[in-house]
């Protein structure tokens, strides 16, 4: 990429340029680091973006298959978010998204991956997360968002919002796929919405057992190893 185009891209994104002598080695390295950061993070919230999230999810699927450690995927959606945009405008909607992103980040561990994967949609990968811990974390996130008073503009009452959460645990010691894991979490999110929103629904241990498709994947891998 030409340097002038790179600088223009960073400026349009509101990124800070390196605090170093222009065109020095440290300055050029700072530009490269800023571009890498821009490609992996969501511009509005600073969270991991969808592309980086999907890569992290793939790595976690492989890690669980190798280590057998439990892992949880949470998917979150801001309830009735369209009404916020329609009533208060998109700038207020952006404020709500940023506030929810901050609440999530402050509730989970540094080792967890928090991403904005859509307009008002978020996802979290929690490695080494037992079932009992996952339930507690999901509920803490829900409560923290519900308790927020979000200031969006002078003279406008602070807004409040809620989220719906769905969660699924990756089967341990099993070669699964990101698609299967995401679909399981999405089903729980749909259940949370159907049951009235502002709640966390995580699949039970029974639902987390190995699916027929995962058994087929495991059998295929076993066959390849024996050949």
pLDDT tens-digit map of 95-122: 999 999 999 999 999 999 999 999 999 9
- Are residues 146 and 64 part of one domain? yes
Range of the domain at 60: 50-224
Alpha-carbon radius of gyration of the chain: 20
- Are residues 107 and 216 part of one domain? yes
Residues 127-145 have pLDDT tens digits of 999 888 999 999 999 999 9
Q: Is-catalytic flag, 227?
A: no
- The CATH number linked to 117 is 3.30.70.270
- Are residues 187 and 78 part of one domain? yes
Q: Which of 170, 174, 72 is nearest to 127 (CA)?
A: 72
**Which conformational region is residue 89 in: left (phi greater than 0), alpha (psi within -120 to 50 degrees), or beta?**
left
Residue 6 has pLDDT above 70, yes or no: no
- Are residues 87 and 33 part of one domain? no
Query: Which H/E stretch holds residue 125?
Result: strand 121-127
Please state, in angstroms and rounded to a whole number, the distance separating the CA atoms of residues 134 and 124.
Answer: 11
Could you tell me if 113 and 124 are in contact, meaning their C-beta atoms sit under 8 angstroms apart?
yes
Which one from 21, 25, 69, 120 is the annotated catalytic residue?
120
Q: Which of 187, 189, 208 is nearest to 72 (CA)?
A: 208
Residue 175 has pLDDT above 80, yes or no: no
Instruction: Report yes or no on 45 lying in a domain.
Output: no
Instruction: Report yes or no on 160 lying in a domain.
Output: yes
When pLDDT is averaged across residues 180-209 and rounded to a whole number, the result is 88
What's the pLDDT at 12? Answer: 59
Residue 171 has pLDDT above 80, yes or no: no
- Are residues 11 and 62 part of one domain? no
How would residue 21 be classed by pLDDT, with cut points 50, 70 and 90?
Answer: confident
Of 31-45, 130-144, 204-218, which gets the smallest average pLDDT? 204-218
Q: Which of 66, 63, 58, 92 is nearest to 78 (CA)?
A: 92
Instruction: Report yes or no on 119 lying in a domain.
Output: yes
Number of domains present in the structure of the chain: 2
Of 22-26, 124-128, 161-165, which gets the smallest average pLDDT? 22-26
User: pTM of the full predicted structure?
Assistant: 0.78
């Amino acid at each position: 990429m030409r340097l002038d185009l790179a600088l223009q891209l960073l400026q349009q994104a509101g990124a800070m340029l390196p605090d170093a002598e222009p065109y020095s080695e440290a300055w050029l390295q700072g530009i490269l680091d800023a571009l890498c950061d821009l490609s992996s993070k969501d511009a509005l919230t600073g969270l991991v973006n969808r592309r980086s999230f999907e890569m992290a999810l793939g790595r976690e699927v492989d890690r669980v298959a190798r280590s057998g450690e439990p892992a949880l995927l949470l998917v979150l959606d801001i309830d009735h978010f369209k009404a916020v945009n329609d009533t208060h405008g998109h700038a207020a909607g952006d404020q709500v998204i940023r506030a929810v992103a901050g609440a999530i980040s402050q509730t989970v561990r540094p080792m967890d991956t928090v991403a904005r994967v859509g307009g008002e949609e978020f996802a979290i990968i929690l490695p080494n997360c037992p079932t009992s811990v996952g339930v507690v974390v999901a509920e803490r996130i829900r409560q923290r968002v519900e308790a927020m008073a979000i200031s969006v503009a002078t003279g406008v009452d602070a807004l409040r919002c809620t989220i719906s959460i769905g969660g699924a645990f990756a089967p341990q010691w099993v070669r699964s796929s990101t698609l299967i894991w995401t679909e399981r979490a999405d089903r729980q999110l749909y259940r949370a919405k159907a049951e009235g929103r502002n709640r966390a629904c995580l699949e039970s241990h029974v639902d987390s057992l190995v699916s027929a498709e995962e058994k087929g994947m495991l059998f295929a891998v076993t066959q390849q190893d024996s050949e």
